Amino acid sequence: MNETSRVVEGQPGDDYRDRIAKADLTRIRPYGDTMDDGKVQLSFTLPVPDGPEAVEAARQLAAKMGLAEASIVHHEGTGEGFTFFVAYGKCLHTVDYAHIQVPKVTSEVMDFYEINHYIQDRIGRKVVILGACTGTDAHTVGIDAIMNMKGYNGEYGLERYPEVDAHNLGSQVENEELVRKIIEYKADAVLVSQVVTQKDVHIKNLGALVDLLEAQGLRENLILVAGGPRITHELALELGYDAGFGPGTLAPDVASYVVQELVRRGLAK
Amino acid sequence: MNETSRVVEGQPGDDYRDRIAKADLTRIRPYGDTMDDGKVQLSFTLPVPDGPEAVEAARQLAAKMGLAEASIVHHEGTGEGFTFFVAYGKCLHTVDYAHIQVPKVTSEVMDFYEINHYIQDRIGRKVVILGACTGTDAHTVGIDAIMNMKGYNGEYGLERYPEVDAHNLGSQVENEELVRKIIEYKADAVLVSQVVTQKDVHIKNLGALVDLLEAQGLRENLILVAGGPRITHELALELGYDAGFGPGTLAPDVASYVVQELVRRGLAK
Amino acid sequence: MKSKLNLDPQMVERARAAAATIADNVTDFISQRTTESVERTVLRLFGVDGIDADGVPLPNVVVDAVHEAGLLAGGVTRPFMSALIATGLSVQELAEAVADGTVDISSIALAPEADIRAKARELAAVGMDRIRQNRSTRDAYLDRLDGGQAPLLYVIVATGNIYEDVVQARAAARQGADIIAVIRSTGQSLLDYVPYGPTTEGFGGTYATQENFRIMREALDEVGEELGRYIRLCNYCSGLCMPEIASMGALERLDVMLNDALYGILFRDINPQRTLVDQAFSRMINAYAGVIINTGEDNYLTTADAVEAAHTVLASQFINEQFALRVGLPEEQMGLGHAFEMNPMIEDGFLMELAQAQMAREIFPRAPLKYMPPTKHMTGNIFRGHIQDALFNMVGIMTGQGIQLLGMMTEQIHTPLMQDRHLALENAKYIFNNARHIAEEIEFAPEGRIVQRAHAVLAESVELLERIVETGFFEALAKGVFADVKRTIDGGKGLHGVLLRSDDYFNPFEIALREELGLGPVKVGVRG
Amino acid sequence: MKSKLNLDPQMVERARAAAATIADNVTDFISQRTTESVERTVLRLFGVDGIDADGVPLPNVVVDAVHEAGLLAGGVTRPFMSALIATGLSVQELAEAVADGTVDISSIALAPEADIRAKARELAAVGMDRIRQNRSTRDAYLDRLDGGQAPLLYVIVATGNIYEDVVQARAAARQGADIIAVIRSTGQSLLDYVPYGPTTEGFGGTYATQENFRIMREALDEVGEELGRYIRLCNYCSGLCMPEIASMGALERLDVMLNDALYGILFRDINPQRTLVDQAFSRMINAYAGVIINTGEDNYLTTADAVEAAHTVLASQFINEQFALRVGLPEEQMGLGHAFEMNPMIEDGFLMELAQAQMAREIFPRAPLKYMPPTKHMTGNIFRGHIQDALFNMVGIMTGQGIQLLGMMTEQIHTPLMQDRHLALENAKYIFNNARHIAEEIEFAPEGRIVQRAHAVLAESVELLERIVETGFFEALAKGVFADVKRTIDGGKGLHGVLLRSDDYFNPFEIALREELGLGPVKVGVRG
Ligand code: B12
Ligand code: B12
Ligand SMILES: Cc1ncc(COP(=O)(O)O)c(C=O)c1O
Ligand SMILES: Cc1ncc(COP(=O)(O)O)c(C=O)c1O
């Protein structure tokens, strides 16, 4: 035998759990295969033809994004003077996860029966909820999932709730029309769905509704909820809504929030 | 008819070519579907469990990388307290493409016949070229593609060149061994292949060869070429090589360079 | 082609017969009506174009004027020809004069019928000619250049800006796209006019305007020439201006048009009468222009469940086929729609998708079936999405689809970025090439899941079609048989634009088209 | 299972007969030899473990000492037992004493043969017992927990650090992995000893050490219990320490081992004699331990072209099968290897891959075939790579493979990141579930491309095997029939460690294993 090094780095029988690297939660980084290696995958297109300069430009861009050892693993001209890139690199930025505070819908999620009981016990009358997909948006599947009888993913929609008076106004409902319906139905809560987000049309449209409601003095006594695949609770709050719901929402999530909020705000009269 | 706006934004018959947005090459940004929109796709894993705080951490990370309107479009716990994310955002960084200078192999690429003629005409003797995959690296396919008779992608390898005396030393060749062979064969050029790059073993290994050659006074009269999937000409220069070749290289690319460089450096005697 | 599914020809026959009855009944209904958009189309085919000082398109201006004059039920042609004769203006001059008020069309007396007919025939010949010309230009291109092989690679551009669309479309062509579809801005289908000029501000798509058509056509011809390939152009012939867009497409040599008999009714809440009348005329134009239509059955599966509602797709294909045949659109131009929209988490879902696609292939053997990708079950997980699209492509090549509308991995996120389209094309090219002849190689176990699934879906759709015949088509729509959507005969948008034809209704293009398409004159009252 | 390829049973028979002849001849050759690593294995099975002051593993220390004493040709057991008897030390104490020089094994006289045999039998029983115990522990787990369904999802971890590997492996298990393979550090296969202890510094993989085996086993049992699934553990039983690693795996309850009769010869330039002797003993251990072996035919296609060299894969599978049968490894434990390695740009490549995979399935119906993903033709384009892997998965489920080694989209770039593995698992789970019963549903056109391709490959491999029989196996290796690689009988690494057995060669584990495996005693000289 000629080799000398035999590779021993710890003691057999050590508890492996003690030796697994832990993340520093005040400075987390992406994880590839080793704690803190920072590995990130990127892809993008640049408006320059493929070639060594294009690759260098891609590398520089990744570097500016804070990636060390950025490696352009794929580059391919896509015609018309554009090039597509795939890159990997080690992100030098860290995030303080330990101190993140995310605004969350804090109400407790109840089920179908609990919600109806809650309404009977704490509100004592039917709760009127309108739903609509507004502006030029015609994507009804999301709001239907919340409102319609048959519901979604095995959960009934609000129309099925005996203690809820639910009205689904459908799609392409203009804000002015929606306000008219709020008055007509004396709505307790309004659920607004926005799916198309190109050029931020949802932001404009959602904002316009708040302005309209405020102008008419309706905002205060109304629970205003937004939802859609690109809606977060945070965004909804920023836009002047009471709550926002994203992908995967089910009727009980919204209904639980609405009824508890009605009681909390003293609107359950 | 109730609508008033009729959408006219230009004149029919305008030449569309004049209206297509041009990139400012001193400040290029990624292109999604509109010039300068900065669109970038990212994916990474963070060492935190899935949840709203994790999503916010991912968003913050993307923001630190310079992405505006970063949107976490997918997040999924992968177990053991890790979460995988996919994000899109608009990169605010720009790159000055117009002034990028990339070192390039400048020799003109000749074909099989031209190279052999060039050697006959300008060098007048056989050129000795060694090839090896060095260190612990056993990936021979790349160097074989360059060296072997049958070649690669329809291009003959150097062994087929009548005016080249090619020796493929195979894989896992130690640097010391390679230096011995360089002396033994009186090599004009050496082609070193490195494929495994984990923990930068290729950098160490390529660097060590240069040190060894310099220590023995062999470096100056030798054309030293590196190659492999993660090798760039730039990296090779940094490591003290004369040239570097990456993915897709064919024998004529290397041979053209070697013979012209021999003549240029006055080693063609 | 040997059947792999052993479908019962009698069942197919029953389905077709039921659909034929439905179409016959409705055709009779259609023949008695015209619409504002049909009349605007007539003007466009005569050559009216442009907008007035307020930006209102001149076809709208003239038709509105004729309507106000109470003359539209007889068709816009008679008063318009009379005014031409009376004023001696050219078609465009007259339209402009009506717009700026210098000519009051209501005050011009009708010319003698023979003069009107002569003038109309003469002028219609110009429009008909241009369409015929475009058709032979296309044929010449296809003779000379590579027209692609089925499944054709169809991708969308949707930047909202025609000048960005052009860049994206040309890049896509270079990457191998056979068909470029310019998606329309949200909401255009509900506009009762066609926007004008080159446009740069759309949402989720770009306005369909004649100038945008022209620009894209020019750009694609140019790049196609360079590539040695003919790149087909597609747009949306649907909504309140369905026939007008057909005419624009025919005039600008579009090759493919989304054009469904029911889509507007179900998905845009357009009045059923309006849609049915409009689709008939638009399809005649498409037929004559050699345009392949794409029907919209895929849309059913965005609201209904793809496993449960599979038979509604097939039923609707039968109905679309029969409507198309009634107006002379040959099978070779019927891009009947269907889609790969089952929940990807279903065990053996791939087998059911195979069954559905193969079934469509066998039942409509000559149609260039348009196969739509997964959309509803695409998520923000672009990596899985890319594989959903790969399985879709695999089914496409395994079952010999005609037009493959390529899925994008970012379907759930945004309208396609340039790189999304690039990767979608790469996905399809790889799979189509790597499994090129698989349809010839694969057979299905005779009593297996795939075969049984196809039989079951066919049986259900026969049942549905026969039920519709029994109920009556309009009543069936009102009951929500398709896509869980209920539409009544007098509901929805655009009913105001539907008119009962007067006895002397005159539409020279309808006459010319019916003649060219071998349809014989309109007959009313045979049924219904 | 009905044949879909209509392979000629006579051709299969001819191939098997030729492979049997090859294996018989070589078996005779093997039976006359032992190696240093075989003897170190014997010590490990007796219970020798640990390292000396210089870090040299004690099995090496003792075997080297016996070798120096000129006694190794008779097996390490006789001198070792004699020393045990003479010193009264325990197995481990004796090894340590040899290492620190307190016992000089060469100076101890041999004990009476009967005493040696008795002691050896007694001590061997302990090791044999532990292996048997591990096997029943595994069986009990598999009774109680879900063992997964074929194709089993096999993923690799390769961080170089066992403690990172554990995290990655447990996460993979949670995501649905059935088998976790810990890839070895580059270069370990050429070490003539097995590293010791938990290790955190490997390149492109993690050292195979017994402690690393133990750690990973514990971590997987724990997570498996939580998930209600038994997670199988795999490592590499190849290189200069092939049988030692088999013993370590048997002692630590590994479930799967890469273990090929030819791989070391062809791909690591290990001496053919060394490899063939080592593989025989290692496979006996694997057989007894209930370990599924994975053979390495896939590697041929990384140097040779997958279309042209397809028949070498099949030929090698036949040879591996026969070598395995010779040492009692049942078909159910033969994870014969093959791979999806054709250039993705080939027209109809998918059909040829289907043919190859289906052929393997039909020829080795009971073997849990190990199917390897695309590697050579993976590029930095991770998006296309993900689809190449999807097609690979599709072939896996269409042809009923046993073990699917999942491809990673970053194959060309780096050893797998956690997210790469996550996406690879998602890819396979989606496709396997969505096309779960497709193998039952799909048949191939009887005279089609797929069937013809399989027939052609089978014919070529019959020809190759018969040529090897004619040429002689060692001569064929020297001529480079496999993977374009030429290896001579006296070339390569590790020949110095091969010894001709003396007439009184004694190996109690060989005896016990042969007995347990129903092989009967070693017979030499029958052939060759
Ligand atoms: C189905 C669909 C259609 C159908 C809609 C049918 C219908 N009646 O709804 C049809 C075919 C008609 C259609 C048309 C168009 N579509 Co579309 N469509 C989709 C698709 C495929 C699925 C949407 C869906 O049904 N999701 C399923 C539901 C259940 O999910 P969800 O909406 O997220 O809802 C859930 C939550 O978000 C939440 N939620 C939603 N709303 C609300 C409201 C409240 C108050 C609460 C509490 C919760 C909540 O709860 C729901 C259940 O969990 C998406 C792509 C995709 N995969 O997402 C594109 C998509 C939304 N469409 C798009 C576009 C651009 C269009 C068009 C504009 C295209 C065109 N130019 O023609 C048109 C125009 C339509 C219009 N005017 O709005 C884009 C939007 C891009 C963007 N981000 O801006 C998408 C993303 C596709 C794409 N990549 O281009 N579409
Ligand atoms: C084939 C292969 C193997 C084969 C090698 C067979 C052989 N005889 O070469 C086998 C199976 C043995 C193998 C083993 C291992 N491999 Co390997 N292998 C690959 C694989 C799949 C393909 C490499 C290849 O052949 N490419 C084709 C050739 C033609 O391309 P190329 O090398 O880039 O060469 C071209 C250019 O780069 C250039 N070029 C290359 N060299 C030179 C030199 C000069 C001078 C010039 C001018 C040009 C030039 O020209 C060539 C032609 O255009 C890659 C993954 C991949 N898809 O790339 C992994 C890969 C390279 N292997 C890898 C690893 C980790 C290993 C192992 C360490 C795994 C293990 N622990 O067991 C072992 C160890 C081997 C060792 N000691 O080096 C990793 C490396 C990770 C990294 N970046 O560090 C990869 C990327 C796979 C992965 N994702 O984990 N491997
Ligand atoms: C047949 C058909 N027409 C039209 C459209 C689009 O219509 P709109 O422009 O109304 O959104 C679709 C949907 O993609 C369709 O399938
Ligand atoms: C059968 C077999 N053994 C061993 C290995 C790995 O060997 P090494 O550890 O020598 O790299 C492989 C390659 O993956 C293999 O296929």
Residue A210: partners with Cβ closer than 8 Å, 6 or more residues away: A219, A224, A239, A240, A241
At residue A173 the predicted structure's pLDDT band, cuts being 50, 70 and 90, is: very high
> What own/partner pairs with CB < 8 Å and gap ≥ 24 does D89-93 have?
D91/D46, D91/D47, D91/D48, D91/D123, D92/D47, D92/D48, D92/D49, D92/D50, D92/D58
**What string of DSSP letters covers D308-335?**
TTHHHHHHHHHHHHHHHHHTT--GGGEE
Which residues between 91 and 150 in chain B have a beta carbon less than 8 angstroms from any beta carbon of chain A? 91, 93, 95, 97, 100, 102, 104
Q: Quick one: three-class SS letters along C254-291?
A: CCEEECCCCHHHHHHCECHHHHHHHHHHHHHHHHHHCC
The burial of C1, by beta-carbon neighbours within 10 Å (0-12 exposed, 13-18 middle, 19 or more buried), is given as: exposed
The verdict on a CB contact (< 8 Å) between B28 and A39 is no
Alpha-carbon distance values, C313 to C357, C465, D185 (Å): 11, 11, 56
Sign, CA dihedral C27-C28-C31-C34, equals negative
Q: Does the pLDDT value for residue A3 go beyond 60?
A: no
Q: For the segment B209-218, what is each residue's pLDDT rounded down to a tens digit?
A: 999 999 999 9
Which residues between 399 and 458 in chain C have a beta carbon less than 8 angstroms from any beta carbon of chain D? 409, 423, 426-427, 430-431, 433-438, 440-445, 448-450
Alpha-helix residue ranges (DSSP H) falling in chain A: 16-19, 52-64, 112-118, 141-147, 175-185, 201-215, 233-238, 251-264
Q: For the segment A34-82, what is each residue's pLDDT rounded down to a tens digit?
A: 999 999 999 999 999 999 999 999 999 999 999 999 999 999 999 999 9
φ, ψ of residue B190 to 5 degrees: the values are -125, 130
Residue B192 near residue B173, CB atoms below 8 Å: no
Structure confidence at residue D521 (pLDDT): 84
Q: Does the pLDDT value for residue B95 go beyond 80?
A: yes
Structure confidence at residue C204 (pLDDT): 85
Name the residue facing D163 among A7, A19, A76 (closest C-beta): A19
Q: Please indicate whether residue C258, judged by its CB atom, sits closer than 6 Å to ligand 3.
A: yes
Q: Does B30 touch chain A (CB under 8 A)?
A: yes
Q: Does the pLDDT value for residue B3 go beyond 70?
A: no
H or E segment to which residue C179 belongs:
strand C179-182
Closest listed ligand to the CA of B255:
2
Q: Kindly give the pairing relationship between strand D33-35 and strand B189-193.
A: unpaired
* Domain-embedded: residue C67: no
Contacts of B44 in chain D (CB under 8 A): 419
Which of B24, B50, B53 should we substitute to test contact with A (largest number of A Cβ atoms within 10 Å)? B53
How far apart, in whole angstroms, are the C-alpha atoms of residue C172 and residue D484?
42
* Domain-embedded: residue D167: yes
Mean confidence (pLDDT) of chain B: 93
Q: Which portions of chain C are predicted below pLDDT 70?
A: 1, 524-528
Instruction: Taking residues A201-226, report their average pLDDT.
Output: 96
How many beta-carbon pairs under 8 angstroms link C with D?
Answer: 124
Pull the structure tokens for residue B137: 């690296």
CB atoms within 10 A of CB A22: 8
Contacts of C416 in chain B (CB under 8 A): 33
Q: For the segment D200-243, what is each residue's pLDDT rounded down to a tens digit?
A: 988 889 999 999 999 999 999 999 999 999 999 999 999 999 99
Touching D (3+ Cβ pairs <8 A), the chains are A, B, C
How far apart, in whole angstroms, are the C-alpha atoms of residue D507 and residue D117?
10
Q: In terms of Cα–Cα distance, which of D454, D482, D234 is closest to D335?
A: D234
* Domain-embedded: residue C424: yes
The verdict on a CB contact (< 8 Å) between D383 and C409 is yes
How far apart, in whole angstroms, are the C-alpha atoms of residue C453 and residue C464?
17
Q: Please indicate whether residue C188, judged by its CB atom, sits closer than 6 Å to ligand 3.
A: yes
Residue D478 near residue D14, CB atoms below 8 Å: no
Q: In terms of Cα–Cα distance, which of D57, D39, D320 is closest to D208?
A: D57
Structure confidence at residue C526 (pLDDT): 46
Residue C233: partners with Cβ closer than 8 Å, 6 or more residues away: C179, C180, C181, C182, C213, C216, C217, C220, C253, C254, C255, C256
> What own/partner pairs with CB < 8 Å and gap ≥ 24 does D211-217 have?
D211/A10, D211/A12, D211/A13, D212/D162, D212/D165, D212/D182, D213/D248, D213/D249, D213/D252, D213/D254, D214/A12, D214/D252, D215/A16, D215/D162, D215/D166, D216/D162, D216/D165, D216/D166, D216/D169, D216/D180, D216/D182, D217/D252, D217/D253, D217/D254
Q: What percent of chain D has pLDDT over 70?
A: 99
Structure confidence at residue B8 (pLDDT): 57
* Domain-embedded: residue D141: no
Sign, CA dihedral B49-B53-B55-B57, equals negative
How far apart, in whole angstroms, are the C-alpha atoms of residue B151 and residue B251?
8
Q: Does the pLDDT value for residue B7 go beyond 70?
A: no
Centre of ligand 1 to C-alpha B223, Å, is 61
Alpha-carbon distance values, D127 to C231, C474, D123, D218, D242 (Å): 73, 83, 7, 20, 18
Q: For the segment C423-470, what is each residue's pLDDT rounded down to a tens digit?
A: 999 999 999 999 999 999 999 999 999 999 999 999 999 999 999 999
Sign, CA dihedral D5-D11-D16-D22, equals negative
In the block, tokens 């102008």 appear at A215
* Domain-embedded: residue C42: no
Alpha-carbon distance values, C41 to C194, C211, C256, C325, C327 (Å): 11, 16, 18, 21, 17
The C-alpha of B48 sits at a distance from chain C's nearest C-alpha, in angstroms, of 19
User: In angstroms, how far apart are the furthest CA atoms of chain D?
Assistant: 74
Q: Where are the beta strands (DSSP E) in C364-422?
A: 370-372, 403-405
Structure confidence at residue D353 (pLDDT): 98
The C-alpha of A258 sits at a distance from chain D's nearest C-alpha, in angstroms, of 36
Pull the structure tokens for residue D35: 């190696």
Q: What percent of chain B has pLDDT over 70?
A: 96
Instruction: Taking residues B20-35, report their average pLDDT.
Output: 97
Structure confidence at residue B39 (pLDDT): 98
Q: Which residues pair with B166 in a beta bridge?
A: B129
Q: Does the pLDDT value for residue A4 go beyond 70?
A: no
Peptide bond into C59 cis (omega under 30): no
Q: Does the pLDDT value for residue D528 go beyond 50?
A: no
How far apart, in whole angstroms, are the C-alpha atoms of residue C453 and residue C459?
10
**What string of DSSP letters covers B161-177?**
-TTEEEEE--SSB-HHH
Which residues form the domain of D371? Answer: 149-453
User: Whose C-alpha lies nearest to ligand 4, atom 16?
Assistant: D296
Q: Is D298 a catalytic residue?
A: yes
Question: Which residue of chain A has the CA closest to B97?
Answer: A57
Sign, CA dihedral D165-D170-D175-D181, equals positive
Question: Which residue of chain B has the CA closest to D201?
Answer: B199
Structure confidence at residue B6 (pLDDT): 52
User: Whose C-alpha lies nearest to ligand 1, atom 30?
Assistant: A142
Task: State the angle between helix axes of C162-174 and C210-227 in degrees (0 to 180), rounded to the nearest 10.
Answer: 20
* Domain-embedded: residue C142: no
Bigger pLDDT: D115 vs C528: D115
Structure confidence at residue B5 (pLDDT): 45
Q: For the segment A84-99, what is each residue's pLDDT rounded down to a tens digit?
A: 999 999 999 999 999 9
Residue B262 near residue B221, CB atoms below 8 Å: no
The verdict on a CB contact (< 8 Å) between B19 and C201 is no
Instruction: Assign A86 to helix, strand or coil.
Output: strand
Residue C408 near residue C392, CB atoms below 8 Å: no
Closest listed ligand to the CA of B205:
2
Which residues between 169 and 208 in chain B have a beta carbon less than 8 angstroms from any beta carbon of chain A? none
Contacts of A230 in chain B (CB under 8 A): 71
Residue D14: partners with Cβ closer than 8 Å, 6 or more residues away: D462, D465, D466
Q: Domains in chain C: how many in total?
A: 1
Q: Kindly give the pairing relationship between strand B82-91 and strand B39-46.
A: antiparallel
Q: Does B53 touch chain A (CB under 8 A)?
A: yes
How far apart, in whole angstroms, are the C-alpha atoms of residue C403 and residue C180?
12
Structure confidence at residue C527 (pLDDT): 42
Pull the structure tokens for residue D448: 């089609």
Single-letter code of the amino acid located at C2 = K
Question: Which residue of chain A has the CA closest to B74?
Answer: A247
Q: Kindly give the pairing relationship between strand C232-236 and strand C179-182.
A: parallel
Here the CATH number for the domain that contains residue C373 is 3.20.20.440
CA dihedral C97, C101, C105, C106 (to 10 degrees): 180
* Domain-embedded: residue D502: no
Q: Is D28 a catalytic residue?
A: no
Structure confidence at residue A1 (pLDDT): 37
Question: Which residue of chain D has the CA closest to B143?
Answer: D303
A145 Cα nearest atom in ligand 1: 52
Q: For the segment C204-251, what is each residue's pLDDT rounded down to a tens digit?
A: 899 999 999 999 999 999 999 999 999 999 999 999 999 999 999 999
Q: Please indicate whether residue D263, judged by its CB atom, sits closer than 6 Å to ligand 4.
A: yes
* Domain-embedded: residue C507: no
Structure confidence at residue D42 (pLDDT): 98
